[in-house]
Amino acid sequence: MERTLAQAATQLGLTRPKLIALMREKDLLKGNLPAYPKRDRDYLRIKDGQWYHEISGMQYSQSTRVKQAGIRWLAEQLGLNLPDIPADNRDVA
C-alpha cells in the first residue's frame, strides 16, 4: 500500500508541510520528489501522472509516494516516534 505525503504525514502525526520541511532538511527530498530515488526505492517512489487539458493538451506531473515500509523508515530518518497503532479488535467475539 502506498501513501501520498499528506497521508504519510497524518500517520506520523505531522502536517504535510511539516513532513516535507523535515524531509528536505534531512536531504530526502529535492523539491517534492525523492532526492535519491535509486537509493531510497524500497521506501519512496515517484508516481507519474498525466491528464488531457482541452487548451494546453497533455499535461504531466510527478509526485512522491511513500511505500508501506517507508513509514517506519521515515520515522527513523526524521527522529520521530511513531504513534501507537490501535489494536484491531474486529475478530474478538
The model's pLDDT over 17-40, given as tens digits with 9 standing for 90+, comes to 999 999 999 999 999 999 999 999
pTM of the model: 0.81
What was the pLDDT predicted at 82? 74
State mean pLDDT over 52-69.
96
In single-letter form, the type of residue at position 24 comes to R
What was the pLDDT predicted at 90? 62
- Residue 27: partners with Cβ closer than 8 Å, 6 or more residues away: 35
Q: What is the 3-state secondary structure (H, E, C) of 35-47?
A: CCCCCCCCCEEEE
> Alpha helices of 14-92 — where are they, by DSSP H?
16-25, 68-78
Domain regions of the chain by residue span? 3-78
- Would you place residue 11 in the very low, low, confident or very high pLDDT band (cuts 50, 70, 90)? very high
Which of the 8 DSSP states describes residue 14?
Answer: S
Does the structure show a pLDDT above 80 at 91?
no
In single-letter form, the type of residue at position 19 comes to L
